């Protein structure tokens, strides 16, 4: 079983669009959407949930008014201003640090587990999809990513799958690290913009730090050929192979409007042909 993650360093490069297309090409696989802060693969996959589970990863303070003596210590020690002078706790402002719980002399503050999101195991026309949804303003997305990956591995073992294809979150933070560690290959999708170049360098360095082999794809390459040259130089300097340059194509947006991937919508298009080349390259590098 091989684990392949698609990451981008920044949002909007077309990472999830490519993942959705690869889902048509990869056989005997499990797909995992680890972009839990902004999960969107379900828009194309149209999954039917067969399992839904709550995700508890933090705690929030609650003041029991019947026990409160009004001493004000909780208001004084809360560095986040989450407790009002009326001893009401703002659940969004509360960071779950627990200081108020520890200093309250009357034991009037309860420190309860907080529902942070949900995770799902679903069926789709592309096979099993393991995905999740983090609640608004919730933290610990790295923990939820790790949980999604764990469940994807369990499903892969049960189904004797050849691949786990992972849609990773953008950036280089905790959720990306949780997605990247332990995979067999990282496919990095970038774009020929200044922010795309900057974040490509960061995510390539992150993959190197964890000894993860990576390949690079430039999406919408023809919008700025000068920046493509800069990306090629970065790949040469870091000894990373650039395996594909995908042109901008209106068909991609039209496919998404019809809730299809580009392989389904326009199988003979240049973009679809290029994604087939990408999949072949990925397989050549993980065998």
String of DSSP letters for the chain: -EEEEEE-SSTTSSHHHHHHHHHHH--SEEEEE--TTS--THHHH--EEEEEEEEEEEEEEEE-TTT-----HHHHH-TT--B-TT--B-TTT-----HHHHH-TT--EEEEEEEEEEEEEEEETTEEEEEEEEPTT---HHHHHHHHHHHHHHHHHHHT-SEEEEEPPSSSSHHHHHHHTT-SEEEEEE-SSHHHHHHHHHHHHHHHHTT--EEEEEETGGG-HHHHHHHHHHHHHTT-EEEEEEPP-HHHHHHHHTT--HHHH-TTSHHHHHHHHHHHHHHHHH-
Q: How confident is the model at residue 280 (pLDDT cuts 50, 70, 90)?
A: very high
pLDDT, residue 10, reads: 87
pLDDT, residue 41, reads: 92
169 has pLDDT over 80 = yes
**Residues 104 and 246 placed together within one structural domain of the fold:** no
Do residues 7 and 183 touch, judged by C-beta distance below 8 A?
Answer: no
138 has pLDDT over 80 = no
Interatomic CA distance for residues 7 and 15, integer angstroms: 7
End position of a domain, from candidates 67, 82, 115: 115
Region 174-194: mean pLDDT is 95
Nearest to 4 by CA among 219, 209, 243, 168: 168
Do residues 38 and 175 touch, judged by C-beta distance below 8 A?
Answer: no
Region 144-165: mean pLDDT is 96
**Residues 170 and 135 placed together within one structural domain of the fold:** yes
**Residues 95 and 233 placed together within one structural domain of the fold:** no
Q: How many domains does the chain have?
A: 2
Q: How confident is the model at residue 58 (pLDDT cuts 50, 70, 90)?
A: confident
Of residues 141 and 212, which shows the higher confidence score? 212
Q: How confident is the model at residue 141 (pLDDT cuts 50, 70, 90)?
A: confident
Percent of the chain with pLDDT over 90: 86
Domain that holds residue 60: 56-115
pLDDT, residue 57, reads: 83
Residue 184 lies in a domain: yes
139 has pLDDT over 80 = no
Q: How confident is the model at residue 286 (pLDDT cuts 50, 70, 90)?
A: confident
**Residues 21 and 110 placed together within one structural domain of the fold:** no
Between helices 270-286 and 15-25, what is the axis angle to 10°? 80
- CATH code for position 96: 3.30.70.20
Residue 51 lies in a domain: no
Average pLDDT over the chain reads 94
pLDDT, residue 92, reads: 84
Residue 120 lies in a domain: no
- CATH code for position 18: 3.40.50.300
Do residues 111 and 61 touch, judged by C-beta distance below 8 A?
Answer: yes
């Amino acid at each position: 079983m091989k684990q392949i993650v698609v990451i981008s360093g920044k949002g909007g490069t077309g990472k999830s669009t490519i993942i959705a297309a690869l889902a048509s090409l990869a056989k005997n696989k499990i797909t995992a959407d680890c972009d839990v802060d902004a999960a969107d693969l379900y828009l194309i996959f149209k999954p039917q949930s067969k399992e839904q589970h709550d995700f508890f990863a933090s705690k929030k303070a609650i003041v029991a008014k019947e026990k409160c003596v009004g001493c004000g210590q909780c208001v004084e020690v809360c560095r986040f201003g989450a407790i009002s002078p009326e001893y009401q706790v703002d659940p969004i402002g509360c960071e779950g640090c627990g200081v108020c719980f520890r200093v309250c002399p009357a034991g009037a503050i309860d420190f309860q587990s907080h529902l942070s999101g949900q995770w799902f195991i679903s069926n789709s026309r592309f096979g099993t999809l393991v995905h999740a949804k983090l609640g608004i303003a919730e933290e610990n997305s790295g923990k939820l990513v790790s949980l999604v990956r764990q469940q994807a591995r369990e499903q892969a073992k049960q189904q004797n799958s050849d691949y786990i294809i992972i849609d990773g979150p953008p950036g280089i933070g905790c959720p990306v690290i949780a997605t990247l560690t332990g995979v067999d290959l990282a496919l990095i999708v970038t774009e020929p913009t200044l922010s795309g170049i900057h974040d490509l360098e960061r995510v390539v360095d992150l993959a190197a730090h964890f000894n993860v082999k990576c390949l690079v794809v430039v999406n919408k390459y023809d919008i700025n050929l000068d920046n493509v040259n800069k990306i090629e130089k970065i790949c040469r300097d870091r000894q990373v192979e650039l395996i594909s340059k995908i042109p901008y194509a209106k068909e991609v947006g039209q496919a998404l409007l019809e809730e299809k991937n580009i392989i389904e919508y326009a199988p003979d298009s240049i973009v679809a042909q290029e994604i087939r080349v990408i999949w072949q390259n990925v397989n050549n590098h993980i065998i």
